[in-house]
Amino acid sequence: MAEGGISVSQDQLSCSVCLDLLKDPVTLPCGHSYCMGCIRNCWDQGDQTGIYSCPQCRQTFTPRPVLGRNTLLAEVVEKLKETGLSGPPAPSPAGPGDVLCDVCTGRQVRAVKSCLVCLASYCQTHLQPHYNITPLKRHRLVNATGRLEEKICPDHQKLREVFCRTDQTCICLLCSDYQHRDHDTISAESAWAEKTRQLKDRQTESQWNLASREKELQELRQAVKSLRSSAQTAVQDTDRIFTELIRSIERTRSELTQLIRAQERAAVSQAEGLLERLEQEIAELRRRDAELSQLSHTEDHIHFLQKFQSLCVPAGAGDSTRVSFKKLSFEVTVKAVSGLKTRLERVCKEELVKISRTRTEICCVQEPQPRTRAQFLRYACQLTLDPNTVHRHLRLSEGNRRVTLDFQNSSYPDHPERFYSDTQVLCKQSLSAPRSYWEVEGSCSVFKIGVMYKRKRNEKECELGNNDRSWCLYRYVDHYTVCHNGKATDVGNNFSSRIGVYVDHRAGLLSFYSVSGDTVSPIYSLRATFTESLYPAFWICVCCTDDYVTLCHL
């Protein structure tokens, strides 16, 4: 072959079935050649139908052709083997995450394309028939994917080429003609273009949210850093102030000790002077008493009379004075110090209470308000209606989660918290968490849902939304208003029968939402300063006989 100047490649002498050099080549009447074993195996599978075709051009033969070895082609193959021409490059081995060729056996080979008609993936070698064989050229090839089963309709085993907007799912053509016949459908490619635009919008929104969150994160970190620095400074300042206070108390204690000692020394000095004087007077009196005693025993009249005048001076005469010393006591001082201690402890306790009530908040980066239903459900609270507050024409059921207007019901006993004038009821639980969310649905066309403070003793009863202690959403048929302190604000109409209520107690936020499936749509939000515990409340119009409102399970 080489001497004749004819160039033959290995691909031209390869079997399109096994993709290897021809072995015992045979040529069909249509002109295509195969290995004897390969074509026999293909035709053996068609013996039942009696129809035999060429795997490449699909030309049929009846009856089954008798196959004879093409000796000329066999010699060419042998010559090609002798020349040592290199075959096509070996397919790339599959790595982690690669799609495998469905034809290759033994070692795992990476697929490069997937056929949506054959529903198989091929390496570069086994993909060649789709480029060389005319019927296979019409097959649709995509980059290798391991999710081919997702592209096939499980009901009809057809390619999913249509997108149903009504059900938001991909379907085949047969589905669009039957199960989805009256639905809004478009081609999968058009839907892809549509969703791609939506995806870009979502990506833009997501990137904006990401940037916003990153900014808030940075601000929060800075706020925490500032808070820690401020706390450290406060600790140091309080330590310094208390140290000064302790020193001041120590100085006062020292001064008081010195004062007590000075008073002690003055009193003792005065007492010691009096003691010395008294001792001298006593000694003198004892001497005179001795002389008087001696004089009383003398018998010398002259001596007696001479001494009598000098010794018999009356007691108390002369320089002798009466000594008077008042008892000195420090009880007043001790009592004063004890009172000072009590007052100081009381002041410290009162000031500590004031300090503890001062809540340190990071105002610059508050936790964002929820937007999706999934986010709202994080604050869901389990509520039940309070039998002690329910009006006698309202009936509770379903574990005190449903309230129904029922004029026959009057079995509730008297209770100071019961409503007697207005057909309304409170929940048993207060909204104790910083944030709370619950949902309500019902058959009533005229009702109110909202929150209120619990009625104080002897406080006049008032309908929900008609005083400054309650806020509510009022539904009248298909029209909605928000009420507080007797004032109503129109908020629209035609909302869902399920209403979501959200309260952020600290932020003073009360919001109402229309709930449909997993979608929440805002109805109205209002701001207020909540100074007491809030209780969910419900009011039903007396015209809604047998209608109900239910707290939903979340």
The per-residue pLDDT for range 374-400, each reduced to its tens digit, is: 999 999 999 999 999 999 999 999 999
Which CATH code, of 3.30.160.60, 3.20.190.10, 3.40.250.10, 3.30.1130.10, is assigned to 113-189?
3.30.160.60
Which CATH code, of 1.20.1260.10, 3.20.20.70, 2.60.120.920, 3.50.50.60, is assigned to 373-455+462-551?
2.60.120.920
Please list the ranges in the chain whose pLDDT falls under 50: 1-6, 86-87, 317-318, 360-365
Segments of 338-434 assigned E as strands: 394-397, 402-405, 424-426
- Would you state the pLDDT for residue 3? 42
Q: Look at strands 435-442 and 498-504 and give their pairing.
A: antiparallel
Q: Look at strands 479-484 and 470-476 and give their pairing.
A: antiparallel
My answer on whether omega of the bond before 63 falls inside 30° of 0, hence cis, is: yes
Q: How far is CA 135 from CA 37, 131, 140, 141, 491, in A?
A: 23, 10, 11, 13, 65
Asked if 22 and 34 count as a contact pair (C-beta separation under 8 A), the reply is yes
For 279-313, the pLDDT digits (tens) are 988 998 898 888 888 888 888 888 888 778 777 76
SS (H, E, C) 306-346: HHHHHHCCCCCCCCCCCCCCCCCCCHHHHHHHHHHHHHHHH
How far apart are alpha carbons 492 and 500 in whole angstroms?
A: 16
How far apart are alpha carbons 232 and 238 in whole angstroms?
A: 10
How far apart are alpha carbons 521 and 512 in whole angstroms?
A: 9
Segments of 48-105 assigned E as strands: 52-53, 60-61
Q: Which CATH superfamily is domain 10-83 in?
A: Zinc/RING finger domain, C3HC4 (zinc finger) (3.30.40.10)
Instruction: Name the nearest CA neighbour of 274 among 329, 323, 208.
Output: 323
- Would you state the pLDDT for residue 364? 43
What's phi and psi for 73, nearest 5 deg?
Answer: -65, -35
For 237-271, the pLDDT digits (tens) are 999 999 999 999 999 999 999 999 998 898 888 88
Q: What's the alpha-carbon Rg for the chain, to the nearest Å?
A: 54
For 211-242, the pLDDT digits (tens) are 988 998 898 899 899 989 998 999 999 999 99
